[in-house]
Structure 1
């Protein structure tokens, strides 16, 4: 699976005193999106971690277009943009009722328990093979 959409209702504790989603929360929304994409594709981060492979964020490029507010129902659109032997790149679009709120690209790497860079596991390359 190359794309997945997850719906989420903005919770009160995710907002700043103005009632707007704090900018840092979008990184958590991206994590939710990529975890659900992997799950929908038949993979599990837990299995990778048990095998000693950990996915880490190495780059985030984020553009904020409009604000989400408390109790909004938002869609987190997650798409695999590219997979190589060394990295996985996800594109995100967070929308509310079709209105673009945030667009981002996140690059991930894989490390072992000692923090040494590893190849992207074959299982992930196979799950996302049609995106290379």
Structure 2
């Protein structure tokens, strides 16, 4: 599976007074891309949670390169950095319609047992699907 790209048209409510997309909204765009990536892999957070797995954010590193302006369409590219263990690491790139990089991100989630909130291994079907990507 090559990197997944989703298109997003930011809404006016996501801007600041200067017509620039507020940085907090980038997290929402990253999550939208991650949900689509999971869907294309054949999974969802609902399926994971039914299996007793939660995926809280462990670390997020966003580097803002160029502002996203209201009215610009953006593209969020997501790819898996490496095979998951108790953690899964994603790389993101947000680009505007001029193909300028607006932000790059590395995001780490931890597979967590829903009852104990302790780290755990991914469900076998997810690990197997991810292994086929490498």
- The two structures have a TM-score, normalised by structure 2, of 0.92
- Structure 2: state its 5+ residue gaps: none
Instruction: Map 1:1-132 onto structure 2 (within 5 A).
Output: 1-97=1-97, 98-113=99-114, 114-131=116-133
Q: Which runs of 5+ in 1 are unaligned?
A: none
SS of residue in 1 equivalent to 2:109: strand
Measure how far apart 1:84 and its partner are: 3.0
Q: CA deviation at 1:131?
A: 4.3
Q: Distance in 1 between matches of 2:75 and 2:19?
A: 19
After the TM superposition, which of the residue ranges 119-128 and 102-111 deviates more from structure 2?
Answer: 119-128
Secondary structure of the structure 2 residue equivalent to 1:118: coil
TM-score by length of 1: 0.93
- Structure having the larger proportion of residues in strand: 1
SS of alignment partner, residue 123 of structure 1: helix
- 8 Å Cα contact 1:2-1:128 kept in structure 2: no
Contact 2:84 2:130 in 1 (8 A): no
